[in-house]
Amino acid sequence: MTSTAKHREIEDLLRSQAPQVLGALVRRYGHFDVAEDAVQEALLAAAQLWPETGLPDRPLSWLIRVASRSMIDLLRSDYARRDREERVAALGPAGEDAPTATPATGAGEQDDSLILLFMCCDPSLSAASQIALTLRAVGGLTTEEIAAAFLVPDATMGQRISRAKQIIKKAGASFRLPSVTELPDRLAAVLHVLYLIFNEGYVATSGRELSRNDLSAEAIRLARMLHRSLPDEGEAAGLLALMLLTDARRPARAKSDGSAVPIAEQDRTLWSQALIEEGTDLVTAAMSRSRLGPYQVQAAIAALHDESARAQDTDWRQILALYALLERLDQSPMVTLNKAVATAMVAGPEAGLNLLAQLDDDERIARHHRLAAVRGHLLEMAGRLPEAVLAYQEAAQRTTSIPERRHLQARAARL
């Protein structure tokens, strides 16, 4: 195995073990905020040591033991009173036989990871803080990696994560799964956070790269974990299906210069048939046995796109019907925006433009570059080329993504 492959294997292992280590510490000691810092120190120690020494016989127990020692040191420094220090020290590090140190492939992995995911998506946190804390605590990413993904300074992201941990501490969140009555709202928050993480990875909102594969891959990993843990939750299956069906197109999404390729112009032979089949099977099963939700409908729309061998074969009438259904489930301007495209494909571009006009006064999207980009596309379809050029130029000015700006400027120049 090459050195690069070895480092990648260790990185993947550490990322998958991080929730288990954090779960073991929080179960034993409490103090989510301190435990999370201790886990990061243990992961860093392993990342530096294991490439040289090789993996220990029981990596999870090694990580828990090192993290426990680190946590005791952190607690000792945080608490001046001797009785508190002695009480924490008396607990001792969680060693090879610690009851919480369950094997990574056992049921404990799912339980602890799921509990941590719900804790990180506490409703008292903002969406930005939920995302950052989820990537740090459950995803095992470093503060620097998360900051790089969202193009903010390391210090800014560190402060965001620190504030999130303090809010959870003040809220007195307990290390348990939500009750039956709490689950629907908390699950909705978790699904929303994973959806946002995936979207930021699939289409980076800013920067030089069209996408961040590490973020979308992490969102898929967490969505798989959530679906395995809650197999009867239709929306968990729907979200995973949506991610897989969307990610299947990744190989065809960018040109050699990094600029975006619209779905209608993509080489569909490059799409991953394995992901398309998996996602289609997931959403089909979910829609047949559970209450319909917006993620399932979005996945069904994605499946219709993916199943078409050519862009002109796309069943736009069925897609339009699904968007009408989705609009009843999710009053989002983005849904209306996408419905306008489907309307244009079925009833003509002027019908789509009329629908877009309804969004001009919606402050949630009125200044978004996608509204101008879609308007440019529909104006081009309608043959109103001077107006289309202006719309594309407006969209290019508004986007903070360099590849998207390059694509929009190219469309304007072509016209």
Residue type, 397: Q
Asked if residue 403 has pLDDT above 60, the reply is yes
Asked if residue 359 has pLDDT above 50, the reply is yes
Asked if residue 94 has pLDDT above 60, the reply is no
Q: What is the mean pLDDT of residues 272-293?
A: 96
Cα distance between residue 132 and residue 150, in whole Å: 9
Contacts of 130 (CB under 8 A, 6+ apart): 120, 121, 122, 164, 189, 193
pLDDT value, residue 353: 97
pLDDT value, residue 108: 37
pLDDT value, residue 323: 97
pTM, full prediction: 0.78
Query: pLDDT tens-digit profile of 157-214?
Result: 999 998 988 888 787 777 777 888 888 888 999 999 999 889 888 877 666 777 778 7
Is residue 366 within 8 A of residue 382, CB to CB? The reply is no
Neighbours of 174 (CB within 10 A): 10
pLDDT value, residue 91: 54
88-102, 257-271, 365-379: which range is least confident on average? Answer: 88-102
Tell me the C-alpha to C-alpha distance, in Å, between residue 348 and each of 81, 120, 269, 342: 74, 45, 28, 9
Between 137 and 61, residue with greater pLDDT: 61
Cα distance between residue 405 and residue 184, in whole Å: 39
Cα distance between residue 120 and residue 193, in whole Å: 10
39-48, 134-143, 277-286, 307-316: which range is least confident on average? Answer: 134-143
Cα distance between residue 212 and residue 30, in whole Å: 34
Average pLDDT, whole number, for the chain? 85
Beta-ladder partners of 400: 206
Domain parsing of the chain, residue ranges: 1-99, 315-415
pLDDT value, residue 98: 38
pLDDT value, residue 93: 54
Pairing mode of beta strands 206-207, 400-401: parallel
Contacts of 242 (CB under 8 A, 6+ apart): 195, 279, 283, 295, 298, 299, 302
pLDDT value, residue 206: 66
Cα distance between residue 102 and residue 61, in whole Å: 8
Q: What is the mean pLDDT of residues 100-126?
A: 63
Cα distance between residue 6 and residue 8, in whole Å: 5
DSSP letters, 363-384, are TTTTT-HHHHHHHHHHHHHTT-
The pLDDT confidence band at residue 96, using thresholds 50, 70 and 90, is very low
Size of the chain in residues:
415
pLDDT value, residue 89: 52
Is residue 49 within 8 A of residue 59, CB to CB? The reply is no
Is residue 305 within 8 A of residue 253, CB to CB? The reply is no
pLDDT value, residue 90: 53
Give Cα 345 to chain centroid, integer Å: 30
CATH number for 315-415: choose from 3.40.50.720, 1.25.40.10, 3.40.50.300, 3.40.50.2300.
Answer: 1.25.40.10
Asked if residue 84 has pLDDT above 60, the reply is no
Query: pLDDT tens-digit profile of 200-250?
Result: 888 776 667 777 787 888 899 889 989 998 999 999 999 999 999 999 999
